[in-house]
Structure 1
Amino acid sequence: MKIRTKLFIFIPIIVLLLNLVSFFIFESGKKVQESYNLMIDKIYIYKQISNETDKNLRFLSSYIIYQDSKNYKLLINHKEKLKHLKNQLIKQSVKKNNELIIENYYYTLNSFLEEEDSITNSLIQKNYSNYVEQYKEVEKIASFIKEDSQNLVDIELNTYYPIYNNVVKYTNSMNKLGVMLFIITTIMSIVFAIWLSRSIILPINKLIYMAKQIGKGNFEVGPFTTSSKDEVGILGEIFNEMMHNLKILMSKNLEIVEKDRLVKELELKALQSQINPHFLFNTLNVISKLAYIEGAEQTSDLTISTSNLLRYNLRKLDEAVTISDEILNAKEYFSIQKARFRDRVSFEINVDDECLEQLIPCLSIQPLLENAFIHGIEHMENGAVIGLEIKKSTDVIVITVYDNGRGMTEEVKYSLLNTTNTLHEKRKSTGLGTINVFKRLELYYGKEDIVKIESKINEGTKIILTIPCSS
C-alpha cells in the first residue's frame, strides 16, 4: 500500500471519529438548552402576565381617582402589552395535562381586559353609577390571574423536572460516549503515527546508512531490502539499481585509469628518447652568441626569439599568465615571421596599460596571430597588416586580432565558433589550433559568448575576445 493511500484512508477515519465526538457533545448540549429555553419562556410569560395585570390594576386605580390624560395613556399602553402577552400565550405549545388550566387562564385574561374597558368607557361617558362594583370585580379577576400564573409556573416546573432529569442523563451518557470516542481516536492516532513513521523512517535510515557507506568507498554494502511496496520500496529498488550501475562505472573507470597509466608510461619512455629541452635552449643560445660574434646580428636576434618562443610554448597550458607575458610572446613570434615576410607585412599593436596585469590562459593570443599569418596574409605580396588591440571597457577587456587578408566564408566562421566540432584543423601551425584556443577560453571563464568573428571575403578578418576583468 502506498504512503499516499495510507494517509487517504486513515486520516479521514480519525477526522470522522473526532467529528462524531464533537457532534454528540453538540447535540446533547443543544437538547438541554432547547428544553431549558422552552421552560423559561413559558415561566417568563406567566410572570410577565401577572406583573402587567398588577400594573394595569394600579394605573386603572390612578385613572379612576385623577381621571387625567397621563394616567389614561399609561393605562392604554400597559393594556396593549397585556394583550400582546395574551397573544403570545396562544402560540405556546400546550400539553394535555394543563390544557384546561391554560384555557381558563386565557378566558380570565379576556374577562379582565373586558371589565377594564367597561370601566374606562363608563368614566369617559361620566357614568359613575357602576364603576365601583366593576372595579371590585376587576380586582377579583386580577387576584385569580396572579394565582393562576403561580400555579402555571409550578405546573411547568413539575412537568419539566422529569424531562430535564432525562436530558441530563442523556447528556451524561453522550459525554461518556464522547470521552470513549476521544480515547479511542487518540489511541488510534498514536498507533497510526507510530506505524506510519516506522514504515517510512526505518527504511530511510537504512538507505542513509548505505549511502554513507558508499560515500566512504564501501561498495560491498548489501542491497536494500524491504517488504513494503510503497514509495520507499520503489526508492530502495532505484537505489539498488543505481548502486549496481555505480559499481559497473567504477570498474570501467579503473580500467580507463589503468590504460592511462600505461599510456603515460609509454609517453614518458618516448620523451626520454627525445632531446632534452634545456640542451636545445642552450644550443640555441650558443648559436645566437656565435652569430653575434661573427657580426650576424639578425641571425642572433632570430635565434633568441626562436628560443624564447619555444620556451614559452613549453609552459603548462593550464597555467594563467598576464596579458603582458602574452604580448611579449606575440612580439617574439612576429619578429620570427618578420624575418620570413620582411617588408610584406607590418605589425600594429595598441594596448591599454591598465590591462597588462590581467590574467589570461597561456597561449591565447599567439595562435590567433599565427592563424592570421597562415590563413590571412600569407598569399599577399605587399601591404599586409596584422594588428593586436587590447582595450578595457567597464568590467570587461576586449582583445582584437585583425588582418587585411583574404577573409573567410560564413561556413568557415561557423566551424571556428563551433567549439564542439570534432573535426581536426589542418595542422600547419607550431602550437594550439584556433578552435582549441576558443574552447580553453570558454572553459576557463565559464562563458560561451567570449568569441566573436567579423570577416568578409578579401576584406580581412577580426577575431574579438571579450573576457571578464579579474579582481
Structure 2
Amino acid sequence: MTTIQRKIWLLVSVMLLIMGIIWMMLTYYNQQTQEQTNTILQRYLRMNEVTIASQKMITDLNNFLLDPTEFHKVQIEKSIQTIEEVQQDVAKLRNEENAFAVTNYIHLIDSLVETTQRSILFSEEQELEGSTNEFNEANRISMYISEMTLSILERELKTYNRFYREIIQQSEELKKLGIWILLLVTAILLLATYWFSLSITRPVHQLTKAANVLAKGRFDEKIKVESNDEIAFLAQTFDEMRININDLILEIQQKAQLEHELQQSKLLLKDSQLKSLQSQINPHFLFNTLNTLSKKAYLDGAEETSDLLVSVAGLLRYNLKRIDRSVTLYEEVLVLYQYMEIQKARFADRLHFKANIDETCLHVNIPGLTLQPIIENAVIHAIEPEENGGTISVRIYRDGSWIIVEIEDSGKGITQEKIELLLNGQIDSNEGHSTGIGFQNVVKRLHLFYGMDNLVSIKSEVGTGTKVIIQIPETREEISDEAIDRG
C-alpha cells in the first residue's frame, strides 16, 4: 500500500533528481568553459613571465657587472633557472599555428641565457670590453623577446577571438536554456502537485459523499474509495462501521418484532393455561388412586397386583420430586428395586436381575434420578429387542475413597465410536424413558453436582454387552438444594 508520506517523498525525490541533473549539466558546462579559459590565460601568463624573467635577468646581470659579488652572481643563477623553467612551459604551448614562432621564441631564450653566461665569464676574466659587448647583446635579445612576446600574444588573441565569441554566444544560449528549463521544471512541478493533490482529494471527496449517504440513513450501499493509501484503510474501517450499524439496526428491528410476538404469545399462553387447568389431572390424585387400588386388590386377595400397584405408586411418587434435589444412594437403590419389580411383571422370565450391593456405601449423596435412567436405557436397548430377554446386573462397592456403581447388561453391546459420541454428548435420546431423562442428562448433572469430569465411563464391545461405571467420591460434603439449583 502506497502511503501519503511515500507519495510526498516520491514527489520531493523527483524534483531533487531534476534539479540535480540540471545542476550537474550547468556545472559541467561551466567547468569546461573555465578550463578552456584558464588554458588560454595560462598561455598569456607564461609568455608574460618570459618577458619579466628576461628583464630581471638583464637587471641582475647589470648589477653583477657593476658589483661582481657572490650575492649578485647567485641572483643571476636564480634568474637563469627561472627563465629555463618558464621556457619549458612555453614549449608546451606549441601547436600547428604557432609552431615556428614558438620555436624561434625558445631559441631566443637560449641565446639570452648563453649571452648572459658569456658576459659573466668575461667579467670574471677581467675582460671589460667583452663583458660589456655581451651585456649589450643580452639586452638586445631581451628586447627581441619582449617584442616577440607581444607578437605571439597578438596572434593568440586573433586565434582565440572566435573562441571568446563562442563563449559569449553560449552564455546567451545558456541563459535561454535556463529560462526554458525553469519553465519545464515549473510545469512538471505543477503537474506533479496536481496529481498528488488529486490522489488525496478524490478519495476524500468519495469518502465525504459516502458519509452524506450514511447521514441520510442509507446503510445498505457499500463504500468504495479508489485509493491505495491510508484513506483506503479509513474507507474500509468506515465501511465496517456501516455494516455494524446496519446489523445493529436489523437486530433492533428483529428484537422489536420478537418482543411483539412474545407479547402475543403471552396472551395466548395465558388463555391456553386456563384451558389446560380445566383438563389437567392432578398427579397426587393419581398417586392416591393407585394406593386405593392397591389396598382393594390386597383385600380381594390379589397380592401380586397389590405389590405391583405399590411399586408403581412409589415410583410415581419418587418421580414427582424435583430432579435437581440431592438424594442418598440408598433412596436411588430403593426406587431401582421398585422399577425392576414393574419390569419383571412386564417381561416375566425374559428379564433376570442381579444385585450385589455393599450397604455401607449407600449413605453418599447423589443427584436424584441418576440410576433409573441408566437401568431403563439397558431395559430398552438390551432386553426389549431380544426374544429371550437378558440379564441386568447392579454392583455397588467401595474402592478406596470412591464408591463405584456398575450397571451391566447382556445386550449386543455398542461400538467404541458410539461410546465416544455418548460421552461427548453428540448423541443422546430420552425416547421411551418414563422420566424423560436421557443418558447425557445424567452425565451433566453428575458433573455439576460434584464439580468433576470423567465420573462416568462405558465399557462395551459388539456382542458382549455393555457396562456403565459411575464413580462417586465418598468424602464429598453435603450439597444444599440451593447449590444444586445454581448448577
Deviation at 1:18, TM superposition (A): 3.0
**Alpha-carbon distance between aligned partners in 1 of 2:264 and 2:154, rounded to the nearest angstrom:** 118
Q: Distance in 1 between the 2:96 and 2:181 partners?
A: 40
Give the secondary-structure state (helix, strand or coil) at the position aligned to 2:128: coil
- The structure-2 alpha-carbon separation of the partners of 1:428 and 1:36, relative to structure 1 and needing over 3 Å to count, comes to farther
**1:136 match:** 136
Paired amino acid for 1:67 = P
Percent identity reads 15
1:47 — aligned with what? 48
The residue that corresponds to 2:332 in the other structure is: none
- Alignment correspondent of 1:107: 107
CA distance in 2, matches of 1:177, 1:65: 65
The whole-number CA distance in structure 2 between the counterparts of 1:15 and 1:165 is 34
The offset of 1:105, in angstroms, is 0.5
What is aligned with 1:156? Answer: 156
Give the corresponding residue for 2:172: 172
Q: Is the 8 A contact 1:24 1:178 kept in 2?
A: no
Residue in 2 aligned with 1:461? Answer: none
8 A Cα contact 1:21 1:182, kept in partner = no
TM-score (norm 2): 0.49
Q: Which residue of 1 aligns with 2:242?
A: 243
In the superposition, relative to structure 1, how do residues 264 and 91 fare at CA in structure 2: closer, same or farther (>3 Å)? farther
Contact 1:116-1:138 within 8 A present in 2 as well: yes
Q: Secondary structure at the match of 1:186?
A: helix
Q: Deviations over 1:385-434 (max 9, x none)?
A: xxxxxxxxxxxxxxxxxxxxxxxxxx989xxxxxxxxxxxx87669xx9x
**Aligned counterpart, 1:436:** none
Aligned mates of 1:106, 1:264 — CA distance in 2: 127
CA 1:427/1:39 → structure 2, altered by over 3 Å: closer, same or farther? Answer: farther
- Offset of 1:186 from its aligned partner? 1.3
Q: Indicate how the Cα distance of structure 1 residues 148 and 412 shifts in structure 2: closer, same or farther if over 3 A, else same.
A: farther
Structure 1 CA distance for aligned equivalents of residues 55 and 182 of structure 2: 54
Q: CA deviation at 1:219?
A: 4.4
Q: Could you list the per-position Cα deviations for residues 39-68 of structure 1 after superposition, in whole angstroms to 9, with x for gaps in the alignment?
A: 111111111111111111011001001111
The alpha carbon displacement at 1:155 in A equals 2.0
State the alpha-carbon separation in 2 of the partners of residues 217 and 262 from structure 1. 30
Shift of 1:217: 8.5
Q: 2 CA distance for matches of 1:18 and 1:260?
A: 72
Equivalent AA in structure 1 for residue 65 of structure 2: I
- 3-state SS in 2 of match to 1:21: helix
Q: Quick one: structure 1 residues 33 and 261, their matched pair in 2 at CA, closer, same or farther if it must change by over 3 Å?
A: farther
The CA RMSD over aligned residues, in Å, is 4.5
Q: For the residues of structure 1 that align with 2:55 and 2:219, how far apart are their CA atoms? A: 102
Deviation of 1:210 (Å): 3.8
CA–CA distance in structure 1, aligned partners of residues 263 and 61 of structure 2: 130
SS at the partner of 2:121?
helix
In structure 2, list runs of 5 or more residues that go unmatched: 267-449, 453-478
| 8 Å contact from structure 1 (residues 28, 171) kept in 2 | no
Amino acid corresponding to residue 163 of structure 2 in structure 1: I
| 1:32 aligned partner, one-letter code | T
Counterpart AA for 2:251 = K
1:185 corresponds to which residue?
A: 185
1:77 maps to 2:78: yes
Deviations 1:368-388 (A, max 9, x none): xxxxxxxxxxxxxxxxxxxxx
Q: Residues of 1 paired with 2:43 and 2:480: CA distance?
A: 114
Gaps of 5+ in 1: 268-410, 414-425, 434-471
Query: Within the alignment, does 1:56 sit opposite 2:57 as a pair?
Result: yes
The corresponding residue for 1:224 is: 223
| Pair 260,74 (structure 1): closer, same or farther in 2 beyond 3 Å | farther
Instruction: With the length of structure 1 as denominator, give the TM-score of the two structures.
Output: 0.50
Which residues of 2 match residues 251-290 of structure 1 at below 5 A? 251-256=250-255
Tell me the distance in 1 between the aligned counterparts of 2:26 and 2:158: 27
| More contact order relative to length (CA 8 Å, sep ≥ 6) | 1
Rg: which structure is higher?
Answer: 2
Within 2, Cα distance between the matches of 1:110 and 1:82? 9
3-state secondary structure, aligned to 2:160: helix
Letter in 2 for 1:114: E
TM-fit CA distance, 1:17: 3.7
Q: Offset at 1:86?
A: 1.0
Name the counterpart of 1:280.
Answer: none
| TM-superposed deviation, 1:112 | 0.3
What secondary structure sits across from 2:126 in the alignment? Answer: coil
User: Which residue is 1:446 aligned to?
Assistant: none
| Cα displacement string for residues 73-109 of structure 1 (whole angstroms, at most 9, x for unaligned residues) | 22222221111111111233x3322111111111100
After TM superposition, list the pairs within 5 Å mapping 1:25-424 onto structure 2.
25-92=26-93, 94-208=94-208, 210-211=210-211, 214=214, 218-220=217-219, 222-225=221-224, 228=226, 230-231=228-229, 232=231, 236=235, 239-240=238-239, 242-256=241-255
